Every structure is written in C-alpha cells, then in structure tokens.
A and B are shown apart, each in its own frame.
Chain A
Amino acid sequence: MDRLVFLLGTGVARGTVLALFALSLVLIWRATRIVNFAAGAMAVVGVYVGVAVTGATGSWWWGLVATVVAGGLLGFVVERGVLRFASARSPLSGVILAIGLVVVLQSLLGIVFGQEHEPVQPPFSDRPLQVGGVPLLSPYDLFVVVVALGLLGALRLLFVKTSLGLQLRAAAFEPEVSRLLGVRVARMRTVGWVLAASAASLAALLAVPNELGLNPHAADMLFVSAFTVAVVGGLDSPGGALLGGLTVGVVTSVVTGYLGATLAPVAVLGLLAAVLLLRPSGLFAQAEARRA
C-alpha cells in the first residue's frame, strides 16, 4: 500500500508536467490546426538558455525566468518566421515545417552544446518526504505540482476572465468571423504561440532534473508522452490536457513501479490505442467544447 501511495504521488507530479506540455500542444492545435511536432526541440532551446543563465548568475530562479522568456521569444520567431507560411489548405505543410524545425534546432544545439547529457540539479531536494513512515512526494515533486497547477490555473483565468483570452478563444474557434469583429487574428495566433512555447519550455525545465540530464533530445520522450496526453484528453480540450496528463502520469508511474520501466511505454501506447478506438476525439473533448 505504501508503495502504491508513493507511485500515485510521483505519478501526479509527472502528470502535471505532462499536462502543462500537452496544454502547449492544445493551444497551438486550437489556434492553427497544426500539431507542433517541434514543441520538444523548441522547449529544449529554452531550457539550455535557462541553464546557461543559472550557471552565469548562480540563481535557479533567474534560470527559470530566462527559460520562460526564451521559450516565448522562440515561439514568436517560429510563428512569424516559419509556420505562418504553412498552407491552410494542406495540413501536411505545417507538420513538415515543424519536423524540419526539429532537425534544424537539434542540430544547432548539438553543434553549440554537444550531444552529451549534462546533469541538471533541482532547486529543492528530490528525496521523498516520509509521512508516518510512508514515502510520499519529494520537495521538488511538490514544487513541480504547485508550479504546473499554478500556471494551468493562471492560463485558465487568462482565457476565461480577460479580454485577451476572449479574443484568443474567438480567433481559434472562428477566425473569419473574429476578423469581421475587429479581432486581429494573426496577432492572436502569435500570442498563442508565445504562450504555448513558454509553457512547454517551463514544463521541460521542470522535467529535466528527473530525466537523464540535458541534451538536445532531452524533451523527445516528454513530447511523445504529452502528445499522447493531448490525444487522450482531446486535442481541442485544455481541461482534457490536465485530466489526460494526470491519467498518463499515474499509469506510467504505477506500471513502472510494479511491472518495470520497459513496460511503461507499452501501457501508455495501450491507453492511446484504446482511446483512439473507443473515443477518437479524446476522453474529454466534447464536454470541453460545450463548456468553453
């Protein structure tokens, strides 16, 4: 039982990071109908900048700020400089541009920083706290949960309570009608990319200390898992990203704990296959579309 509690706790921590990363995919999908296959590579660029700033200043917190800012700037450049030119008539053109971007970014990172895994220390201890003799979350896991849930909540407030959020939603749902109402849809798309890329970079920064370390491919598996989360939750559903993230996080953690790490990807793949067979639009897609 103690083991199950521990695995559920770490699963929730991992799940919130996945949810944050998946939300970045959902934001871009809703705004542009493009699955951003470059999200992982873009996020790692932000993390490299953050780690460099941490190294230069000695402050992990300045590194966090730099990661978010660098991620947002890269999102701006990528949307304005590359993906804006993807043809709306051909869904493949956006996918191909994004994959090309992955190759370019990972090659550049490899040239500048090398391919070695660089360990990244968390700002808090990653040793689990004991409560009544039962190992629970580590202080770092708790920090990750608080930051990820805080950001997800902040993004929800932005979308539901602010004029900018209303314009972002309108531009995503009905771009032509929104233009006729004076909404600058192209600008809203850029804002969406900036928000999404910042969120993905932050998620990658939070995830890296629990992975093998930082290298140009450090967010590849995070992207694959987050893509699964987005499909499970519904690519159109921000709420689904959170619930899907928690589901995939807990499944991964429990399967890893009881059956071994090698079976975890198989379990996630099984979950993905089941959702695609039974509810291809995602577990939470319809409810969210009605509520948004």
Chain B
Amino acid sequence: MTAALALRGLVVGHGGAPVLHGVSFEVDEGSVVALVGGNGAGKTTLLRTVSGLLTPTAGTVHLHGRDLARVGVEDRVRAGLAQVPEGRGVITELTIEENLRLGGLWRGDPADLRAALAEMEELFEPLARRRTSLGHQLSGGERQMLAIARALVARPRVLLLDEPSLGLAPLVVAQIMRVLRELCDRTGLTVLLAEQNVAGALSVADRGVVLGLGEVVADRPAAALAQDETLRHAYLGF
C-alpha cells in the first residue's frame, strides 16, 4: 500500500519555542489514522503544518509522493488536501449552502459542484433541511457536520480533522465517526484524525499515532494501541 501522506523529521516551533521535534510517520492511502495525545502534545501544530498554515524549520511533508515544501495553502487544497480546523471553522455569517459551495468553488465545475452538494446533503441529512440557515444559528453538532461536509465537497484525497468531537454529545460523535469510516471504505478517502477522545478515535481508525510533547511515542495498529495499558495510562488518559 502506498503512503498518501508522509511526514519525515518535522520540526516546528511557535515564536522560537519548538513544538514538534522531528516527527515522522506515514498515512496509507484509504486508511484512517488517529493522531492522539494530551493537551500540548502538538496535534494541532502538526495538522497546521501539513495544511501549510505553519512552516517547518526542518523536515518534509509529501502528499502522494509530491513534496509540499514550496506549495502554498490554497494549492495544497487543489492538490487534494483538506483540513477541518479545530473549533469547526464554519463561517457563521454565511448560510449552510454558501459554506458548502465555498468548499468546491475552486474546482470551477458548476455541474460537479451541484453533484457534490447533493451528495453531502444526502450524507448529512440535517444540513439539507436547513440550507438557508446562517452558520451562527446551528448547533455544535450541525456545525461539525457542515465543516466536514464542506471539506468533502472539494472531493479531497486526504482529509485532516482537528478535534471533531470537541464539545459534542456522544451520539453525535458516534454518528460523525461512522460517516467518516463509511466514506473511507466506500471512496478510498484517507483521514488523519487528531483527537483527545482517544477511545472514539481508535474505534474507527486503522492505526494510531501517539504524540507526547512533540514526539511520536507510538505508531501501531489501533486495536493494539487501545489494549496497551502502559501507553493508555501514560499518554492517553483512559
């Protein structure tokens, strides 16, 4: 199996203070990898580096074999990379429909965009019922669905999700995780899922990568990781 995403020796800092210290791992095509670890482990920094919002001081990011070092954020999107940021990133001044359209505008194909919107409204049915509602009128769960659906409208090959379960009811989290797993199995989408809800993330993931203070502490199949009591107690808190 080829790597959809390959990180090698990533070193990233904020204002001179290093956050990631030589992080390396790969995400296989069509798989779900859970990126877990406590607060301050560097999960969000890692995702922001992959999407291009942060620039590493050392190391490389490859997307399907292509080095992204000189590729800007907007062009990484066009190369097939989508990120749902922490806090959901719904543009609250726009309607559901406008948020969704925004996700696929760069493709420049109105027919394809219409088809993608219809698919998303089928997949996330509550969104279809409230098409003209503004972002700020939505519940937390609806905002998360909208943020994921909007990223999927772009038909990405790799999806980065930052804490999608944050502040959501367990039932909503389970529904979102189920949809993601189905999408990966059906379309070959690759997902890198950063989560503090470790049990939830490992339940849908193929593999788990544990970050501790900016370093990869473990990189194993999700089931094996969930059963490792020492690791669970030391880094995962359950």
Contacts and interface: CB of A to CB of B under 8 A. Distances in A.
Contact of B102 (A176, A181, A289): A181
B102 A179 contact: no
A167 B108 CA distance: 13
A289 B154 contact: no
B82 A166 contact: no
A170 B106 contact: no
B122 interface: no
Interface in A155-185: 163, 166-167, 169-170, 173-174, 176-185
Interface string B22-47: 00000000000000000000000000
A177 B74 contact: no
Q: How large is the interface on A (under 10, 10 to 19, 20 to 34, 35 or more residues)?
A: 20 to 34
A180 B83 contact: yes
A181 B78 contact: no
A212 B100 CA distance: 51
Interface stretch (B86-94, B181-189, B192-200): B86-94
Given A181-B150, A182-B154, A183-B105, A174 B73 contact: no
B213 interface: no
B160 to A, nearest CB: 9
Contacts of B221: none
Given A163-B105, A174-B89, A292-B93, A180 B77 contact: yes
A176 B53 CA distance: 8
Interface residues of B, number: 25
Interface in B70-84: 73-74, 77-78, 82-83
B77 A174 contact: no
A173 B94 contact: yes
Contacts of B85: 176-177, 180
A89 interface: no
A177 B51 CA distance: 11
A182 B78 contact: yes
B102 A166 contact: yes
A150 to B, nearest CB: 25
B106 A183 contact: yes
Interface of B: 51, 53, 73-74, 77-78, 82-83, 85, 89, 91-94, 98, 101-103, 105-106, 134, 136, 150-151, 154
| Nearest 8 A/B pairs, CB to CB | A182-B106, A182-B77, A177-B89, A179-B73, A174-B91, A173-B93, A292-B93, A180-B83
